[in-house]
């Protein structure tokens, strides 16, 4: 019996914020027969369980002529992004029926992979919820863990400022900085997020929409390490409040993702006068060095309750567009995940 193979199509390039139903469209017109669908030798059929919705997806919603580190979404084709699924049928010795896999998925209920396509099999010894493997135990967790290890050179007693501190990456960074014995200042865009950041160990947490960031940093700084998730005026304030020899870990600049021209910085001269080291990075370029260590340590830390995880689960493939907008606007409360199916 054929079943619906729903998908989320990239429908138009947005000018400002992405619009659910216009930028992306849910399409349930395709059917798939799970018994007879052709699977090539070495290939396998995957049922999508959880999809990750991440800020960088906004950058992929562009004209194909614009160059960037990640490929543009293709108009008329399904979105792609990190996901977890289960193998339903297989002609691969590595990806057996019943195995749970992680990697890049089409935003679609069922996918035939002709080969391993960069996927890995998850062993999940700790029996974590599968969704965690697109969050703290997946790409955003790797972002926090790998770049903190590579660039922070943190020393006990140093002061760390984390912007976007209530999100998937920022909340992990706060907890890493506390494990290293640092004092943590963290910002986010609502009072509820402020309470969450305090609950995971931030010493000073504030709402950047209702407090003056520079005043807070001047009171509790100077900053030795700045983890930047947002860029723009927050980065300018961090440059003002930075200590000599500060390290700035440039993870993302979401304040400029939905405006033409991004969010320009006026006081970059402090990099010179304060001998600041700035480290920009893309997580996929650090994976070869840290992947093994990450999968050995992080699921254990989560299972032991030493790393707290907060998820915002959106229900069903049709909610992908809403989840994308929520992440850009900040209405998500924790790691944005779309539950496509439980098993």
Q: Which residues bind ligand NDP (CB under 6 A)?
A: 54-56, 140, 143, 164, 166-170, 188-190, 193, 229-230, 251-252, 254-255, 281-283, 327, 330, 332, 335
- Helices and strands, counts by H and E, the chain: 9, 17
Cβ at position 70, least distance to ligand NDP in Å: 9
Cβ at position 111, least distance to ligand NDP in Å: 23
Cβ at position 255, least distance to ligand NDP in Å: 3
Residue carrying the six token digits 């989320």: 8
Which lies closer to ligand NDP via its Cβ, residue 5 or residue 23?
A: 23
Cβ at position 204, least distance to ligand NDP in Å: 15
Pairing of strands 24-27, 7-10: antiparallel
Cβ at position 280, least distance to ligand NDP in Å: 8
Go through the chain and tell me how many residues it has. Answer: 343
Which lies closer to ligand NDP via its Cβ, residue 164 or residue 321?
A: 164
Which lies closer to ligand NDP via its Cβ, residue 43 or residue 164?
A: 164
Q: Whose CA is closest to 226, among 182, 284, 283, 287?
A: 182
Q: How far is CA 158 from the centre of its chain?
A: 26
Cβ at position 162, least distance to ligand NDP in Å: 10
Cβ-proximal residue to ligand NDP, closest one: 167
Q: Whose CA is closest to 233, among 201, 259, 203?
A: 259
Cβ at position 270, least distance to ligand NDP in Å: 20
Buried b (16+ CB within 10 A) or exposed e, 306-332: ebbbbbbebeebbbbbbbbbbbbebeb
Distance separating alpha carbons of residues 70 and 75, to the nearest angstrom: 15
Distance separating alpha carbons of residues 175 and 198, to the nearest angstrom: 11
Which lies closer to ligand NDP via its Cβ, residue 111 or residue 188?
A: 188
Pairing of strands 311-315, 335-339: parallel
Neighbouring C-beta atoms of residue 159, cutoff 10 Å: 22
Which lies closer to ligand NDP via its Cβ, residue 251 or residue 307?
A: 251
Computed from CA positions of residues 251, 255, 259, 265, in that sequence, does the dihedral angle turn out positive or negative? Answer: negative
Which lies closer to ligand NDP via its Cβ, residue 43 or residue 140?
A: 140
Which lies closer to ligand NDP via its Cβ, residue 99 or residue 173?
A: 173
């Amino acid at each position: 019996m054929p079943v619906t193979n729903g998908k989320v199509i990239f429908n138009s390039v947005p000018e400002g914020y992405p619009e659910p139903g216009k930028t992306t469209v849910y399409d349930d017109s395709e059917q798939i027969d799970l018994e007879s669908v052709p699977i090539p030798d070495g290939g396998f059929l995957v049922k999508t369980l959880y999809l990750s919705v991440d800020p960088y997806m906004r950058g992929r919603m562009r004209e194909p002529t614009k160059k960037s580190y990640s490929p543009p979404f293709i108009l008329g084709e399904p979105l792609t992004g990190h996901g977890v699924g289960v193998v339903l049928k297989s002609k691969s010795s590595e990806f057996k029926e019943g195995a749970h896999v992680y990697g890049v998925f089409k935003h679609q209920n069922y996918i035939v992979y002709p080969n391993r396509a960069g996927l890995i099999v998850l062993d999940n010894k700790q029996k974590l919820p599968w969704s965690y493997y697109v969050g703290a135990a997946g790409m955003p967790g790797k972002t926090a863990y790998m770049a903190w290890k590579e660039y922070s050179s943190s020393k006990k007693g140093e002061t760390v400022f984390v912007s976007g501190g209530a999100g998937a990456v920022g909340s992990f960074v706060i907890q890493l900085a506390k494990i290293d014995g640092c004092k943590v200042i963290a910002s986010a865009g609502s009072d509820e997020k402020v309470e969450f950041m305090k609950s995971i160990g931030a010493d000073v947490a504030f709402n950047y929409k209702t407090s003056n960031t520079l005043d807070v940093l001047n009171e509790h700084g100077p900053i030795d390490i700045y983890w930047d998730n947002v860029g723009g005026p927050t980065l300018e304030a961090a440059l003002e409040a930075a200590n000599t020899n500060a390290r700035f870990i440039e993870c993302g600049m979401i304040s400029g993702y939905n405006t033409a021209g991004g969010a320009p910085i006026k006081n970059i001269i402090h990099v010179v006068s304060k001998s600041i080291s700035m480290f920009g990075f893309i997580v996929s370029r650090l994976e070869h060095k840290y992947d093994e260590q990450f999968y050995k340590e992080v699921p254990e830390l989560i299972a032991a309750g030493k790393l707290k995880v907060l998820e915002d689960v959106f229900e069903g493939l049709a909610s992908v567009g809403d989840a994308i907008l929520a992440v850009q606007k900040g209405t998500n409360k924790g790691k944005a995940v779309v539950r496509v199916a439980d098993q």
